[in-house]
Each structure stands twice: as C-alpha cells, then as structure tokens.
Chain A
Amino acid sequence: MIESLELNNKSEKTDYNILNLGPTHPATHGVFQNILKMDGEIIHETTSTIGYIHRAFEKIAEHKPFYQITTLTDRLNYCSSPINNMGWHMTVEKLLGVEIPKRVDYMRVIIMEFARIADHLVCNSIIGADTGALTGFTYVFQWREKIYDIFEEVCGARLTTNIGRIGGMERDFSPACMKKMHDFLNDFPKYFDEFTLLLERNRIFMERNIGVGAISAERALNYGFTGPNLRAAGVDYDVRVMNPYSSYQDFDFMIPLGTQGDTYDRFVVRQHEIRESLKIIKQALNNIPEGKFFADVPDFFLPPKEEVYNNMEALIFHFKIVMGEATVPVGEVYHSVEGGNGELGFYMVSDGGRTPYRLHFRRPCFISYQAYPEMIKGSMLSDAILTMSSMNVIAGELDA
C-alpha cells in the first residue's frame, strides 16, 4: 500500500480512468455507489454516493406511536435486527422510567448476543467469499439459519424480527426454544472452529488481508468509528462495558482488540467477539433468574388475549396501546447499545404526545462509512471491495 502511494505521487498523470462501482454491483453486497478515479488499477480518488434506499425513517417515526417504531428499527441493520429492537425498547423504557425484571434483561442479552453472532458470521464469511474462499461462507451460513430458527421460536419472524416489546418480551422462552439454544451452543463451536481453521491462520488469507484498508486509532476516533471497526484499530470502547445496559455488568467477557486497524484485524476481532458472545449466552442461560418476562407497564405491554376478552381493564389497555394513546413523560433521552457494527444510539425528544417529537438514530455505518475514501486511497480495486465488506457496511443502516 505504501509503495502504491509513492507511485501515485511520482507519476504526474492527468488521464485517469473513471470507474463507476455500484449502485448495484455484485461485489458490494448492498446498494452502494462509489465513483472511483483510477490510475490503472490504483484508486486515486473516491466519491461515495449514498441514499439509494433512504426511507425517511426519522420522519415516519415522528408520526408513529412508540410501539410501531420497533418495526422501523428492524430495517436499520437488518443483519442484527434484534439488537436494534432491544435498543429501541430500552430507549422508551428509559424515557418512561420503567423497572425491568432481571429475567427480561437476561433474555434480551441472550437474544442480542445471538444476533451479534449472526451479524459477525455474515460479515466474516463474506470477507472470506470476497477473498475467494467461498467454502467458509457455505460452512457457517447454516448456523445463521439456526440462529434465525431461534428468533422464529421467540417471535415468529426471522430477518426483520420485531422481537420483544416495550417493557419486556412478548413471550417466555418455550421449551423448544431452549432446546434450540442449547443445541446451538453445543454444536456450533465445532463448526466455528473449522471455519476458523479455514481462514484465521490461513497463509493465503492472511497475506491477502493484512495491511489492507488500514486506519489508525486516531483517525478512527476522529471519524467516529465504534464497534469492531474501532476495536480493530486498538481502542477498547465497547458500550456493553462502558455504559452497561440490560445487566451486561453481570457477565464476564473480554473485549478483543486489534492493533493495525486493517481488514485482517477487523476479521479477527469479529471472530473473537463471536466466542465472547457464546460465553455470554452460556452464562445468561445458566443463571437466568425466574420471574416475569415483562415489567409492570400496562400502558405499553399488551395484556394476554384471554384477559382482553374477559376483563374490562385489559380490554381498555389493549385498545389504548393499539391506538397509541398511552401517555409518556416530556423529556429527552439518549440511549445507546452496542450494535453489530458499533454504537447504535437513539436520541429521542418527547413532548408528551403519542409519537416522539423527534427521533434520531445514530447509525454506526453512516458515520464510519465516510472514512471509506480515505481508507482505500492508493490501494487496488480488489482491496477496496475487501475493505468495504470488512467494515460491515449495511445499506439499510447507512441510508435509514
């Protein structure tokens, strides 16, 4: 990379090739457009165009009752929707000042860590696919499906989950769900080890990835990087540890760190985070407290159907919730969770109405993707593809 940069400085070329990469290119895994000014195969300048799937979520959110916004958050980072859902529930709960039962916290942690595993599996196996090692991809993708089976068991949906409710979970873990979780924990590590063996210390893979798309810790912080991308550059900022939410302080886990901030470090950090997530899930499943799976917020948590049909109060609350007539306090709140690729923040201003007055999503992809032109300057086109997949940029979150 350094060599090619020097090459650029020496040559005083004026005739560059313009290459339009995207918006729909099979190598970019999403709707991204980059107009590259190329000197041969070396990228000289990049102009990113985003917004192709902008759906005005922030505007829609100003017109939806709180419980309906959960489905909008699904579609941000759709590789780990449950984390977005839980982040949103926790934001509203923070605004309402609800005391959440410990069991709900643990259930949420389990779901969120499964989502993180799914997210990281997709990202890492795609780095493999982009380097030409498609085998790893086919090995682990069935495990993502099994995670989706677990989500399906909890909430009925797989990709855009709408999991959990404001004030708790929609239902307790069923025995079938528990079995699926335990099966996953028993079987997955073996396959994951195989995946690790395929890639992590694979000479070809390492040489392909080390030094590609590197960013220093200073630049990464200045660019607002969070999550695995920042930790790969060597900064140990993890929201789960810095500002624990949902009882994360109860669990014992490590924050994997890289040193170079390159594609390989991002890959390895994600690999280790998957292992840490497994550790967290095990601890949570072993220590999950007994109790209710919802908090006492009748204004937001739907009562069971048999009560709705037979009990007047339950019917009233059901009606109020569905029509979005619940009252909320006036105030403003910022809550952030550790999403699949960084700090996912919700800044909500409430004027006491049935919808948020203003809701802003702090989307980690949107903020870190602006470093992309700087990261790929002077590198080869194929490295640019690899850099993008290792940053785990998700179009839905980028464009909101």
Chain B
Amino acid sequence: MVQIDNQYILTELQDKFGERIYNSYEPYGLLTIELDKNSIKDVLQFLYNHKELQMQFLTDVCGIHYPHVVGKELGVVYHVHSLINNIRLRIKCFMPIENPAIDSATFLFSSANWQERETFDFYGIIFIGHPNLKRILNADEMDYFPMRKEYPLEDGTRTDKDDSYFGR
C-alpha cells in the first residue's frame, strides 16, 4: 500500500506527462498543477483510471480571468476529488483570450455539462466536444461574457454615483 499524498500524485503525473505540467504548488495544502490545456482529457482520464488514486469525482469546474497575463488570459480551474483516498487535486489550464478553447470533460463526467456551460456563459470559454454548449444562467441574446474583468458591475455611464472611495 503506497502512501497517497500530494507528492505521490505529483510524481505519478510528472512520470506520465512530464513537460506538459508547467508548474505545481500547494496553497493551503491543496495540490495545484498548471497544465497544458491540450492534455486535460488525458490527465482527467489518467486520474480516473489510476488504480491507486481513483480520482473519479469532479467537484467543481470554473473559469478565471487574468487580463494582464498576455497569452494566458483565461483559465479553467478543475477540482477533482478521490473519494477513496480523500485527497483533492486542483488543475488549472490557461489559454489565450483570442482562442479560448479547451476539450470538454463531459466525456468522463456528466456533472461537467452544466458547469462548463456556466463557464462558457461567464467567460466565453469554448469546450470542444460539449454536447450542448450554450448559455445557461444568462439570456441567450447576451452578446458579452459578464465575468470577464473588463465588464463593470454597474452601468458605466452612470454619473450620479461616485464610488471611487469604495474601491469599485
């Protein structure tokens, strides 16, 4: 019986994927890897089928936007959980804002369906292979992606409020 900890997961992943894992760190004890976005399908499948790890529960999928990081503006953050070993892993894939496309995780997890639709809805990230990629929470007619940082919370044309002291 091997000791399943962050180090073990990282070694297994690096043995298998090597260069495709760009970076890894452990904020607050949760192993986080930055991954080449083209490998997401392979990595999720590998973690799912791995005999010891059995990371078969997709906890969460969400997007994130870093407008100042050129070439890696948009990201998708996956949280996968091995219920057998009770260990989590966070996977981040970044992509340029001109072509935000990544493979869908729906081939493996049914739960990814709506979560990816939500991410598309908020950030405009295209999930290749998704069965029904359209907006989910916002109206279909919306022509922008509201969670991107350039979109203000309130109507920018308003002049009756001065929020500069409130950091908005």
Is A243 an interface residue, CB under 8 A from the partner? Answer: yes
Q: Which residues of B contact A324 (CB under 8 A)?
A: 166-167
Contacts of B28 in A (CB 8 A): 94-95, 331-334
Contact flag A237-B83 (CB < 8 Å), given A224-B109, A345-B59: yes
Q: B96-135: contact bitstring with A at CB < 8 Å (1 yes, 0 no)?
A: 0000000000000111011100100010000000000001
- Cβ of B14 under 8 Å from chain A: no
Asked whether B10 is an interface residue with its Cβ less than 8 Å from the other chain, the reply is: no
Q: Does A29 interact with chain B (Cβ within 8 Å)?
A: no
Residue of B nearest to A53 (CB): B137
Which residue of B has the minimal Cβ distance to A49?
A: B136
Q: How many A-B residue pairs have CB under 8 A?
A: 96
> In the complex, what's the smallest C-beta–C-beta distance from B100 to chain A, in angstroms?
16
Contacts of B168 in A (CB 8 A): 63
Interface flag for A316 (CB, 8 Å)? no
Contact sample, A vs B, 24 pairs, CB 8 Å cutoff: A51-B138, A51-B139, A54-B138, A59-B147, A221-B56, A223-B111, A224-B57, A235-B83, A243-B86, A331-B27, A332-B27, A332-B32, A334-B90, A345-B59, A345-B79, A347-B77, A355-B167, A358-B62, A360-B62, A360-B77, A362-B79, A366-B115, A366-B118, A370-B113
Chain B residues within an 8 Å CB radius of A224: 57-59, 109-111
Interface size class of B (residues with CB under 8 A): 35 or more
Which residue of A is nearest B109, CB measured? A222
Contact B114 A367 (CB under 8 A): yes
Nearest B residue to A97 via CB reads B28
Q: A50-B136, A243-B86 known; A223 and B60 CB under 8 Å?
A: no
Task: Find the A residue at minimum CB distance from B154.
Answer: A63
Taken together as a complex, chains A and B put the C-alpha atoms of A399 and B165 apart, in Å, by 31
A63 to B110, CA, bound (A): 32
A354 beta carbon closer than 8 Å to chain B: yes
In the bound complex, CA of A59 to CA of B109 (Å)? 26
Contact A370–B90 (Cβ < 8 Å):
no
Question: Which single residue of chain A is at the shortest CB-CB distance from B151?
Answer: A59
